[in-house]
Amino acid sequence: MAHFDQSENYWLPSSIKGARAETKKTYPTLNLSLFFTLAISMASPNSVKILDICEVAAAYDSTKSATETILSPTFFELSGLRFPPTECLFFFKLTDSNPTFFHSVIFPSLKKSLSNALLHFLPIVGSLTWPPESSRPIFVYHPNNDSVKVTLAECNGDFDRLIGNGIHEAVESHPYAPQFVATETRSPLVVLQVTLFPNKGFCIGMATHHAIFDGKSVSMFLRAWAYTCKYIVEKGEAPRILPAEITPSFEWKSIQDSKGLEEAYINLWATMGKRLESGSDSNPKSVKPLTKLEVQPNLLRATFHLSSEAIKKLRESVLRYHPEATDPTKRLHLSTYLLACSYVLICLVKARGGDADREVYFAWSVDCRSRLDPPLPPNHFGDTVVARHIVSKAGDFLQENGLAIIAEKLSASINGLDKGLLEGSSERFEMLLGLGAEVRLISAAGATGLKFYNTDFGWGNVEKVELTSIDRTGAFSVLDIGNGSDRRIEIGVALKRPEMESFASFFSNGVEVMSRL
């Protein structure tokens, strides 16, 4: 989902920060072997103990939660019908989180506030199912049967490592994500796990179904839950209403399918689902998310930052190659999000190496709420995004002006949205799903403007956010953190060790090198 705004020195763990390019046209390779070896060897086995599995229902309300709710998906929701769940981890640092305080205060408050918050999000308490007699799946909430599964766990893992920005094995984070269990006939929409790290903090893990959650919807639900919890902690009672920006709107009927996309996506998943599952799934009405995406062995994860100053330098670098961009009639779309993605792509392609003639695909999602006619309200809840993509030779990324080349292509794609937001969307979707393993497809998860790092359940803001699902999809994550002059873009990547070493080197040196070209 693409948000476009303006924000801007880069940050890396101090162990790999500070090297500088020796010439204008070369990127020196840092010798990070010792750092990586130490970082990985310091990891200790994580012992996660499941303490309880709870079912949290929406708080009772005679006019809301006591009534069955059925929603028919639009073509937006149908486009995400079989995608693997999105997994997010939110780490909260709390030194006084001893087991007694956690189990007597924190966890009960989390459950109570979740129950009250769910009253505003009833469709996600239910499930996605496909009635045998129906031509399409539906979202159904049954007041007497449905609830959200919450797993309570405790771990002796190294909390400080997990909330740091250094390199660690990707699998270290996986025990804190909840298990998303679905069948062909019924799938939950959200599952949660709360993991206590005694005297360190706790982690809220969330897995959400792509058919109803996009990044903004995840943010809306998380922030509504946090707002309710903090309200209860401070005032002893649940709020009667939520702030407008986190009060969800499920008015989906205003979305018109003038291009027949609903039928196109239903037919596409009927064929592509079977193909992507290697023929194992013969049920064209399955609502079970695809499960064949496995985490590659020996995958490492790290977090990098681009400051406002770094974004400014990247923008200036692009404009030096595109002076016409200062002409209002030819202006490039150089948002913070676009520049950050362009820079990460350059670093990733350089890190991978290989044939300069090979094609590289980049796909990302665009939030359609404000772009539809008529526009949807900003608090519209659902999977309301469309995919966009560019294709370029790897050699374009490797050129001295590679950043400008890629930024221009992304800008042209964004500017083209005004002429045809949904034009060719199902064909593009099918093409991207059908790309073979020999094609390099890079995608972006997350967005700026989601405000994940502003989330506070009553015991302080989020300390670290991880999108663990990128370990399976090969995407990189983009989030923003901080405010004002301290605002920066956070990039999460999961790579094999050789690529991670190269990526870290290019990323740490690239901004300064490009600013001198």
d(CA 190, CA 50): 19
Query: Is the omega angle on the peptide bond into residue 377 within 30 degrees of 0, that is, cis?
Result: no
Beta strand 359-367 pairing with 385-393? antiparallel
E strand or H helix at 397: helix 394-398
d(CA 507, CA 417): 30
| Angle (deg, nearest 10), helices 336-352 and 308-321 | 80
- Of 149, 152, 160, the closest CA to residue 201 belongs to 160
d(CA 201, CA 462): 10
Whether the Cβ atoms of residue 82 and residue 220 lie closer than 8 Å to each other: no
Residue found under tokens 């913070």? 336
The full DSSP string for 212-237 is T--HHHHHHHHHHHHHHHHHHHHHSS
Q: Is residue 399 classed exposed, middle or buried when 0-12, 13-18 and 19+ CB atoms within 10 A define those classes? A: middle
Q: Specify whether 142 is catalytic.
A: no
Residue in 3, 168, 210, 380 annotated catalytic: 210
Residue found under tokens 């291009």? 259
d(CA 353, CA 56): 49
d(CA 149, CA 54): 6
Q: Specify whether 305 is catalytic.
A: no
Question: Any idea what DSSP says for residue 380?
Answer: B
The full DSSP string for 182-214 is --SSEEESEEEEEEEETTTEEEEEEEE-TTT--
493 Cβ contact list (under 8 Å, min separation 6): 301, 302, 304, 344, 348, 470, 476, 477, 500, 503
d(CA 64, CA 141): 11
Residue in 158, 257, 396, 456 annotated catalytic: 456
Residue found under tokens 């034009």? 423
Beta strand 476-481 pairing with 488-496? antiparallel
- Of 384, 374, 363, the closest CA to residue 474 belongs to 363
Catalytic residue annotation? 210, 456
